[in-house]
Amino acid sequence: MAAERAAELAEKVVRVVASRSPQAGLAAAVALDPSASAADNAAAVAEALALLRTGAVAPAARADAGGRFAVGDAVGFVDERLVAWGNPGPTLAEVLGALAADAELVTCIAGEGAPLDPADVAALAPDGVELELEEGGQPSYWWLLTAE
């Protein structure tokens, strides 16, 4: 809503294309063409977002009421669905596996304090998918992921 309000106030032509996560927004930005119109860029970004799946692994901020995980355990999400929890390595492997199905490329952005080094993360990638590793330094997530 803040972006939509800012667009209304802008002196330039602005289009807002909603994304549900920081990593989706970054992936969508790659679709931008500075020489294209705002409408064409909005369509290209929307198309890129439609083809994108996202995932994340973070330390749990609170214990699960059902007893599945404790504060500090890894919790893994695909899109907005909790799919794995426990130790960081197996949790990340589960998220990577879920995202890699039907994907050619998975981008993994490591955050501040990520408990696995890049070589260990690369070893978890399923066969047949290209894994791109980046350093993001985000404070709340150990890994943000996108699948294309």
Give a three-class secondary structure readout of the chain: CHHHHHHHHCCCCCCCCCCCCHHHHHHHHCCCCCCCCHHHHHHHHHHHHHCCEEEEEEECCCCCCCCCCCCCCEEEEECCEEEEEECHHHHHHHHHHHHHCCCCEEEEEECCCCCCCHHHHHHCCCCCCEEEEEECCCCCCCEEEEEC
User: Among the listed ranges 39-53, 75-89, 114-128, 130-144, which one has the minimum average pLDDT value?
Assistant: 39-53
pLDDT at 99: 95
Tens-digit pLDDT profile for residues 41-98:
999 989 988 889 999 999 999 999 999 999 999 999 999 899 999 999 999 999 999 9
Reply yes or no on whether the pLDDT at 144 is more than 90: yes
The structural architecture, per CATH, of the domain 53-147 is 2-Layer Sandwich (3.30)
Residues of the chain with CATH 3.30.1180: 53-147
pLDDT > 90? residue 120: yes
- pLDDT tens for each residue of 7-41: 888 888 888 888 878 888 887 888 889 999 999 99
pLDDT(118) > 90: yes
Q: Above 90 in pLDDT, residue 111?
A: yes
What is the pLDDT at residue 106? 96
